[in-house]
Amino acid sequence: MRYLITGGAGFIGSHLTEHLLARGDEVVALDNLSTGTLDNLTGVAGHPGFRFVRGSITDPSTVEACMPGVDAVFHLAAAVGVFTILDRTLDSLRTNLHGTEILLDAALRHDAAILVASTSEVYGKNTVDGLTEDSDRIIGSPLKNRWSYAEAKALDETFAYLYAKEHGLRTVIVRPFNTVGPRQTGRYGMVIPRFVTQALAGEPITVFGDGQQTRCFCHVHDVVPALVDLLADESAHGKVFNLGSTEQTTISQLAERVIAATGSASTIAKVPYEEAYGEGYEDMQRRIPDCTRAYNQIGFVPTRTLDDIISAVVTDRRG
């Protein structure tokens, strides 16, 4: 199989690239290197089945040039990270909306299956214990920029769903819940690489808000095979799947666990949300997936624990 991976130089995209090449597939990786980096691809540079294209998903001719011979597309490219969305809101919205529409069009023209990466953020402020794919979106005011990422991804899902329904495009939508692991950078906001970097530098660990908000983190090595299995499974086409772990932690506990795992002398510094993200920021207090659908479809069960994840990120950051 030949795959196009948009965002192929990103955190998840680079792991997926390695996974597919190791199976003997071919990969074209398209990335504008805005948040991705060629450093993520050093392990596959020069591989005969691999081609890197530097360019934007918002440029239809660049996307078109990647498509010949492609059997299936993993559309992972997006403006990501809370800091990115708050700093470059309009650009992020354009990338996350128009880019997806362009990829869906290209997949349709070339009769390629396409997996669209959505996000658990589409559930917004819904704190139910076990979000299923049918759970409601509870989103804040459109005047709060913070929600524009979730808005764009929700529309991407609708686009993908309608391309499947009205044009017969083979689509799969996934909603990852806090995917983490080696190579993820903390530069754009992601909490685990930030805490690990701070701990290794002996700097204060910046816990935003009261630290009682919870998250469930899932190792990228659990997520990547699930992406591949879902796209390969015809009976998954036209559907949406949560992908995540159900092991919960508060962010304060996470900070303590990172300090313990690194043996760091760092202290914990509570930072008010306004200081961290600017005025009027709303955080999700709780976000736990129910992944029964992915389990029933492909037997999805994450096997790495939060301790495994922390230790993998520590090893990665220590270089």
Which residues are part of the catalytic machinery? Answer: 149
Region near ligand UDP per CB under 6 A, out of 62-70, 152-160, 201-209, 305-313 = 201-209
| 135 makes contact with ligand UDP (CB under 6 A) | no
d(CA 120, CA 150): 8
Q: What is the DSSP letter of 263?
A: T
d(CA 271, CA 277): 10
| 190 makes contact with ligand UDP (CB under 6 A) | yes
Q: Which helix (H) or strand (E) holds 166?
A: helix 148-167
- Matching residue, tokens 């074209």: 28
| 252 makes contact with ligand UDP (CB under 6 A) | no
Number of neighbouring beta carbons within 10 Å of residue 54: 13
Q: Which helix (H) or strand (E) holds 317?
A: helix 306-318
Burial class for 83, CB neighbours closer than 10 Å (0-12, 13-18, 19+): middle
CB of 144 to ligand UDP, least distance (A): 14
Distant-in-sequence, close-in-space partners of 260: CB < 8 Å, separation ≥ 6: none
Measured from the CB atom, the residue of 118 and 171 that comes closer to ligand UDP is 118
Measured from the CB atom, the residue of 194 and 221 that comes closer to ligand UDP is 194
| 208 makes contact with ligand UDP (CB under 6 A) | yes
- Matching residue, tokens 């509870």: 138
CB of 273 to ligand UDP, least distance (A): 7
Measured from the CB atom, the residue of 20 and 251 that comes closer to ligand UDP is 251
Contact between 178 and 217 under an 8 Å Cβ cutoff? The reply is yes
| 240 makes contact with ligand UDP (CB under 6 A) | no
x/- letters, 144..173, toward ligand UDP (CB under 6 A): ------------------------------
Angle at which helices 89-109 and 148-167 pack, to 10 degrees? 10
| 242 makes contact with ligand UDP (CB under 6 A) | no
Measured from the CB atom, the residue of 28 and 254 that comes closer to ligand UDP is 254
Longest dimension (CA), the chain: 58
d(CA 266, CA 205): 7
Measured from the CB atom, the residue of 26 and 121 that comes closer to ligand UDP is 121
| 283 makes contact with ligand UDP (CB under 6 A) | yes
Region near ligand UDP per CB under 6 A, out of 105-113, 208-216, 237-245, 296-304 = 208-216
Measured from the CB atom, the residue of 76 and 191 that comes closer to ligand UDP is 191
List the one residue from 32, 145, 178, 262 that touches ligand UDP (CB under 6 A). 178
Identify the three-state secondary structure at position 129. Answer: strand
- Matching residue, tokens 């200081």: 275
Return residues touching ligand UDP (CB under 6 A).
Answer: 82, 178, 189-191, 194, 206-208, 213, 215, 251, 283
